[in-house]
Amino acid sequence: MLWNLFQFMPKPFNEGFLPEQDGHKIYYVQYGNPNGIPVLSFHGGPGGCSRPKYAKLFDLKKYRFIQFDQRGCGLSEFENLLFANNTAHLINDAKRLLDFLNIHTQIIVHGCSWGSTMALLFAESYPKLVQKIVVHSVFLARLQDSAWITRDSERFYPDLWLEMRQQVNTPNILPAYEQLLFSENEADNLKALSYWGSYEYQLGQLNPQFETLTETTPEILNGTRIYLAYTKNNFFITDNQIPDNIAPIKNIPTLIVHNRMDFCCLVNQAWDLHQAMSNSHLIINPGYGHSTPQLLKVVKKALKDFL
């Protein structure tokens, strides 16, 4: 029987909110051993939320696994969704969380997809705090990486791009879908979520099809709005920022795992990161898809040796 990360989720031993800052109250949750080695995990997105399945990657008898919902995401609360909502503020929230939890020893940072971006940026900001790095389904957030999703992937999905353009009757789809996404009309929101909002999830599918949504949730809508805002602003970092600032962390032991046929985040990002780091171990899994159960199984197995 295929081992399944999605069964039997662990229960947290603690959860709560950071003190409000900039109108944002950050939700956090902890799993595992309260006295264990701290693991600070960053969720995907931008606009995603914490997921207990990632806690299951680690031996929770030995590790203290900490997640938090980034500004405007998941269970975090806000007065203004996009106010003071950028990458620098997220990194600062992560450091505030460690201080709030009285964690002053070195930690392991973990992240998948956008979470890998955040884990690497945090490590570059606070290299002396980081003992080890674990990233999978790597996203380096360079212009070339985001251009794959917003432009270059059309070479594989011309039919979907035609459909997205036809829905808004313009070749320049991003401003059109942004207007729909931030409209006060629910029908407009649903149209944006059905097409532009779900395109990333079609990448890697052999028979991709848009599905017209009839309902959504505030969490999904707000998450997609955050994703668009970060995409428009080059994720609030400079191009090539992670590779350009790799020197302070290049010798930190790092585990990198990536599916070879990941059409959301291309495998060259994991390869480039591996080449830039002196003490990294790269596993290119012979699989397809982004953060799949099969990939997480490989990550969990690799972590036993790495840690």
Residues annotated as part of the active site? 113, 262, 290
- Quick check: helix, strand or coil at residue 287? strand
In which residue are the tokens 């969990």 written? 300
CB 252, CB 303: distance < 8 Å: no
Rounded to whole angstroms, the Cα distance separating 303 from 67 reads 18
Rounded to whole angstroms, the Cα distance separating 153 from 264 reads 9
> For the packed helices 186-194 and 218-232, what is the interaxial angle rounded to 10 degrees?
60
What is the Cα 216 distance to its own chain's centre?
21
- Quick check: helix, strand or coil at residue 107? strand
Q: How many CB atoms lie within 10 A of CB 217?
A: 8
Where is 100: in which H helix or E strand?
helix 87-100
- Quick check: helix, strand or coil at residue 113? strand
Cis? peptide before 243, omega within 30° of 0: no
- What residues contact residue 116 under an 8 Å CB cut-off, 6+ apart? 42, 135, 136, 137, 138, 139
Question: Within a 13 Å sphere around the CA of 230, how many CA atoms are in the beta-carbon half?
Answer: 29
Q: How many CB atoms lie within 10 A of CB 295?
A: 23
CB 44, CB 101: distance < 8 Å: no
